[in-house]
Every structure is written in C-alpha cells, then in structure tokens.
Amino acid sequence: MTITPTLASPKILTGIRGFDEITRGGLPRGRTTLIMGGAGSGKTVFALQSLVNGVRESNESAIFVAFEESVAQIISNASAFGWDLPRLAKKRLQFFDARLSPEIVKSGEFDFVGMLAILESLARTSNAQRIVFDGLDVLLGLLDDPVVERREIYRIRDWLARTGLTGVITQKVGTDIVDQRYSYLQFIVDCVVIVRHQVVEGSAFRNLRVMKYRGSGFAGDEFPITLTTEGLQLTNRGPVELRYDVSDERISTGLPRLDHMLRGGYHRGSNILISGAPGTAKSTLAALFAVAACERGERTMYVSFDEGAAQIVRNLQSVAIQFAPYLASGLLKMYSTRTRGPNVEDQFGELRAMVRLHNPRCLVIDPLSALSTKLAHVASADAAQQFLDYLKVEGITVVNTSLLDGINTDEATATGISTIADTWIHMSYLVQDGERNRALTIVKSRGTGHSNQVRELTLTDSGVTLTDVFVAHGKVLMGVARWQWEQEGIAARKRNEVTTELKRLQLQLKQVEAAARLQVVQAETEARGAELELLARTMREASELLDTDRTALLEMRHADAEAMLAKPGASPKAAPKPRRTSLGRKAP
C-alpha cells in the first residue's frame, strides 16, 4: 500500500506496518511526537524502528538518545529484530548515551543545555532528520523539581522546533492511568501515541491508539500490535471501503460430485467455510481441496491447530488421501501449532508471517474456530475477520473449517464467520434406523447456483465420495437403509429385466410361428395356383385334342364338305375327293 503524505500536513513515514495507514502518512514532519506506555508495551521498539526504517528505506540520518539504557544494551536488545544495528550505527544511525554519572545525579544540579548543544552539532554533521529521546522521564525524575522539569521539557521542545528535526519522545506511564506528573507533555507535543501492554486471562495483549494528531485526521480506535522478528506491527482493520479483485475462475473442491453440486467448484480467491460437528469429515474435505490444488501445481498451505502434521498425514491415508508427495516436492506446507489463550491476534500475526513466507495460492485453516472461539478481549474480537480480509486482498483461496460443539447439527458458527464466507458447506449427522451417517449440505454459495440436495458423504479405504440422492417414503435414506433400498431396487430391476426378456422371447416365438404359418399359406397358395394353371392347361389341351380328334373322325368318316365346313374354325375347302377303297371298283 502506497502512502502519500498530504501537502497540508507534511509527514514522515515510520515504515511500521499499519501505523502509517491509520495516521494517513506517519509522524508529523519537523514536529514532536510523544509515545506513552507502560513497561514492555513496545514504545522503545516503536521509536527505534521508526529511525531504522528511515535510515534503511529513506536514506535519512537519525540520532537515538538513550537516557535509561546503555547503547550496548539497546543494540543487544534489538538484535532479535534483524535490523543489523551495528552496521547502521557505523553509517547514518547515531547513538548518544545521555545517562548521567552518579556524581551529577547526586548533586541534582544539571540542565539539558550542554546535551542539546552536542546533539545539534551531531545532527548538523550527520545531516540528521530524525531524533528520538528515549526514557526522557527518567532524566526528568532526577531533577526532582516540577518547575525545573517543565523548564527542561520546554527547552527540548524549542530546540526541536528550531532545528527542524522530527522528534519522538518516549515516556513511561502506569498501566491504566497516565502519570499525572508529566501529563503536560501531551499538550505541548503535536502527536500523542499510547501503547499498552495488559494481561487478560493469562494472555498478554499489546495495542496502540493515536490519542492526538494536530493538523491531520487519523484513526482513533485501539489497534492490536505484535512484536515479530521484523519489529513492531500494527494490525489495521483496513479501509472502510471493501475493494479487492474478484475472479470468475472455478477451482476444484477435490471431490467431483461436490464440484457438480457447486456447478464447477469454488470461486478462485473466495472464502469457504466447512462447519460441522466433530467427526463429520470437515478436515477430510479440506484435505481434498489441498490435494486438488497441489495437483494443479499451486503452492498450498495447511494450517492445523492442536493436531500434529504427521498425525494428519497418517490419518488421511486411511481414506486414500496422500500428502507425502506434495510435502516432499515443497508444493504443500504444513504448519501445526497450539492455540495459546485469548490473544489470537499474535497467532494471526504468526499466520500472516507464514503465509508471506510460503506465498500460497490456496490455504486451509483447520479449524479456524480454534482461534475464533477465544475472543475474550476486544483486540481479538475481529482478528479472524481481518485475517480473512487480508487473504482475500491477496487473492488466496481459503478453506476454513469450524467445529461445532458436541454433535449439534445446528447450522451456526459462534464467531459469525459464516456471515462473511462466500461458500458455506455444512456437515451434519443423520441418525436413522440405528446408525449415524454423514450428510453434506451447501448452505450458500455467493455468485453461483448450487444444489439444494442433502447428500451422504461416505469414507472408504478407496477414497471419499458423495452418494446419489435416494428418496423413499418421502425421505432421504442413508447408510444401511439406503443400501437395503438400493438392493431391493436392484433386485426389482433384475426381475423386471427377466420378465421383459421372457416376454420378448415369447413374442419372438410367436413371431416365428406366424412367419412359419405365413410360409405354409404362401406354399399352399402357390400350390393352388399351380393346380389352377395345370387345370387350365389340361382343359385347354383337352379341348384342342377334342377338336383334332373330331376333325380326324370326320375325315375318317368321309364327311361331307359341309360337315367339314361346320367344323369350328375350319376354312371353306374343296370337297374332298372320294378315296378309293381297296375292295371297291372305280366308279364309272
């Protein structure tokens, strides 16, 4: 996030994550800021870190004036933050040990004139832009005179105004009530920041609040702060306006049938909540999502609370989910830790650091409720939501599981995270016919249609699947009851198949018989036809023969020519000559 100081109120960045955002640009440039806080609240870290960041990021020079600790102690204490103070101390970061000797303290007569003269010379030669007076109240306390103390304070204020340095003064106060002795400090400075360190139910909380900032707007709420290996960090709730990129890309849940129920899977960059009672396979569903992400070649992180990584890997093998190959390749990073009391902000801070280190595209938090149920302090009340907002801005798809108490199947989460989840899948138990089965329901899925069916989730040695919806007698059946109905259905289908086959065979037989009968009829028809044809030919031939015989008979009987002519079809011919018989004589 780029912070641009306003022209009306020049500011100087501290480089402290979150603080520059709530102050809209950092500390007032060329003016004085008071950091108030109790022991261990982080005021010295804040002041020193602002100088270190100015030197490292803005190439400025700075001076740290120590009234309480030695320079060696300060450098040693800050070594845990990785700032490399010895190297910076040789260049642009100057340390000035302003502790008084026992003799001067005993006399009680001193002022800041000499010290400020030395500092002015040092600032001029090093071209310093920033200066910190750490533990000024310690030195003021040695004066043991309220009037003198106030005089020296004003002397420092005037000196800062004349030199144009951006000054930071740290002051110790009680845990709850500001030390009234130096309360006037709040009125002479331009910016007042209060840091607090308190213990609630055995857990330590740190927070920061900007009480005053002349000439500038700022966020006046109390913000949680954490001390990390990089220094102090403030958790900002972010801008009031929610603005982040969204994607229409769908990614698999790791369970094909669940993808189908969601019409393609989860939206990329969305926030998914899987809630349910213990043992309803929330972790298994989350693990399937992690494996699917690794299969796509995406860096993935699996965060678990109160259960070790090795145990999770072993347990998932029982349902054919293998994490080992992806752990070996480095695609999958597992981080297992314990919940540690109500200060969940520190733990979310650790998670942020782990996420930045591994840079995953997909994240599993199992269960998020392990942290979000420990909300005894206002600083942690919205820590979970802030962390999820951070993931959404980074475009990380996150699957959170949420554990419900007991075997309660009510669709609710104690933290209200369900209201900000984009997709909410609820797992429950369905007790029926003396057994308990896992039921999956999609409560909501923003931006996409989804199934409203209750599906049974089954876990076997070969894997995880969702069974088809099976309804009998107006209700969804699961487990053995579903199996029995399914077996009865299979048997009924087989009986129907056999009956149908028998009927088909019978019809085929009748068809064959009909065809055979048809062939017989056709054969008889042909035979009758042949007989008719034969009869007709016989009759015709007989008729022809009869005609021939008649003619021959007439010829043999020497019938008259007229008789011959009477022969049907005969043409008129000359009368036949009388034939000579062998016994007669020739007629005269």
Q: Kindly tell me if the per-residue pLDDT of 2 is higher than 50.
A: no
Give the pair of three-digit tokens for residue 210: 């900007």
Segments in 14-92 forming alpha helices (H): 19-22, 43-58, 71-77, 85-89
The winner for highest mean pLDDT among 134-143, 315-324, 573-582 is 315-324
Is the pLDDT assigned to residue 389 strictly greater than 90? no
Whether the per-residue pLDDT at 35 is higher than 50: the answer is yes
C-alpha span between 260 and 163 (Å, rounded): 69
- The one-character DSSP state at 578 is P
Q: Is the pLDDT of residue 487 over 90?
A: no
User: Residue 480: is its pLDDT beyond 70?
Assistant: yes
What pLDDT sits at residue 582?
43
Q: Which of 395, 350, 121, 369 is nearest to 244 (CA)?
A: 395
- The DSSP code for 405 is S
pLDDT digits (tens, 9 = 90+) for 321-339: 999 999 999 999 999 887 7
CB contact set of 341 (below 8 Å; sequence gap of 6+): 201, 202, 203, 374
pLDDT of 479 over the 80 cut: no
Q: Find the mean pLDDT for residues 264-281.
A: 91
Q: What is the arithmetic mean of pLDDT over 338-362?
A: 80
Please give the angle made by the CA atoms of 105, 106 and 112, to the nearest 5 degrees: 30
The structure tokens listed for 180 are 């009234």
Asked whether the predicted pLDDT for residue 343 surpasses 70, the reply is: no
pLDDT digits (tens, 9 = 90+) for 545-560: 888 888 888 887 776 5
Average pLDDT of the residues in 294-319: 92
User: Buried (b) or exposed (e) across 481-512, using 16+ Cβ within 10 A?
Assistant: bbeeeeeeeeeeeeeeeeeeeeeeeeeeeeee
Single out the residue of 396, 343, 309, 118 nearest to residue 235, CA to CA. 343
Write the burial class of residue 197 (CB in 10 Å: 0-12 exposed, 13-18 middle, 19+ buried). middle
Hey, which residues does 465 pair with through a beta bridge?
Answer: 458
Token representation of residue 162: 């004349």
Q: Between these two residues, 70 and 417, which has the higher pLDDT value?
A: 70
User: So what's the pLDDT on residue 252?
Assistant: 95
> Which pLDDT band, with edges at 50, 70 and 90, does 8 fall under?
low
Average pLDDT (292-296) is: 96
User: Where does the pLDDT of residue 310 fall: very low under 50, low under 70, confident under 90, or very high at 90 and above?
Assistant: very high
Burial zone of 187 (CB within 10 Å; 0-12 exposed, 13-18 middle, 19+ buried):
exposed
| CB contact at 8 A, 425 and 289 | no
Region of 416 (left: φ > 0; alpha: ψ -120 to 50; beta: rest) is left
Band (pLDDT 50/70/90 cuts) for residue 407 is: very low
Distance CA 155, CA 139 (A): 14
Apex 141 CA angle, 136 and 146, nearest 5: 105
Report the pLDDT value the prediction gives residue 561, as an integer from 0 to 100.
56
Task: Answer yes or no: is pLDDT of 587 > 80.
Answer: no
467 compared with 383, residue with greater pLDDT = 467
Give the pair of three-digit tokens for residue 490.
């299979």
Name the region of 306 (left: φ>0; alpha: ψ -120 to 50; beta: rest). left
Q: What is the three-class DSSP state of 94?
A: strand
Q: In whole angstroms, what separates CA 138 from the centre of its chain?
A: 52
Is the pLDDT score of 341 beyond 80?
Answer: no
Residue 434 — very low, low, confident or very high, per pLDDT cuts 50/70/90?
confident
**φ, ψ at 570 (rounded to 5°):** -85, 145
C-alpha dihedral over 345, 347, 350, 352, to 10 degrees? -60
What does the pLDDT read at residue 581?
44
pLDDT at 151: 85
How is residue 119 written in tokens?
A: 């500092």
pLDDT band at 372; cut points 50, 70, 90: low
- How confident is the prediction for the chain on average, in pLDDT? 82
Most confident of 78-87, 212-221, 499-508, 557-566: 499-508
161 contact partners, CB below 8 Å, separation of at least 6: 31
Residue 306 confidence class, pLDDT cut points 50, 70, 90: confident
pLDDT cut 70: percent of the chain above it: 84
Provide mean pLDDT across the span 369-392. 68
Question: What pLDDT, in 10s, does the model give residues 236-271?
Answer: 766 666 778 888 999 999 999 999 999 999 999 999
What's the confidence (pLDDT) of residue 40? 84
C-alpha distances in Å from residue 247, one per residue of 351, 362, 477: 24, 14, 37
Do the beta carbons of residue 135 and residue 99 sit within 8 Å? no
Q: Would the pLDDT of 376 be above 60?
A: no
d(CA 360, CA 302): 10
- For residue 442, the SS3 value is strand
If one compares 50 and 112, the residue with the highest pLDDT of the two is: 50
Q: Which residue has the tokens 């001067």?
A: 104
pLDDT of residue 139: 76
> Burial, 337: exposed, middle or buried (Cβ in 10 Å; 0-12, 13-18, 19+)?
middle
Contact 232, 43 (CB under 8 A): no
CB-CB contact of 157 with 146 (8 Å): no
Handedness of CA 336, 342, 343, 344 (dihedral sign): positive
pLDDT-derived band at 563, boundaries 50, 70, 90: low
User: What pairs with residue 101 in β-bridges?
Assistant: none
Maximum average pLDDT range among 165-179, 180-194, 343-357, 361-375 = 180-194
Amino acid at 444: K
φ, ψ dihedrals at 390, nearest 5°: -60, -45
Sign of the Cα pseudo-torsion (366, 370, 373, 374, in order): negative
Q: Is pLDDT larger for residue 393 or for residue 240?
A: 393
Asked if residues 360 and 333 have their Cβ atoms less than 8 Å apart, the reply is yes
Find residue 431's DSSP bridge partners. Answer: 436
Least confident residue range of 198-202, 242-246, 488-492, 515-519: 198-202
Q: Where are the beta strands (DSSP E) in 338-376?
A: 362-366
Tokens of 371: 């942290």
440, 465 contact by CB (below 8 A): no
In this prediction, residue 225 has a pLDDT band, given cuts at 50, 70 and 90, of: confident
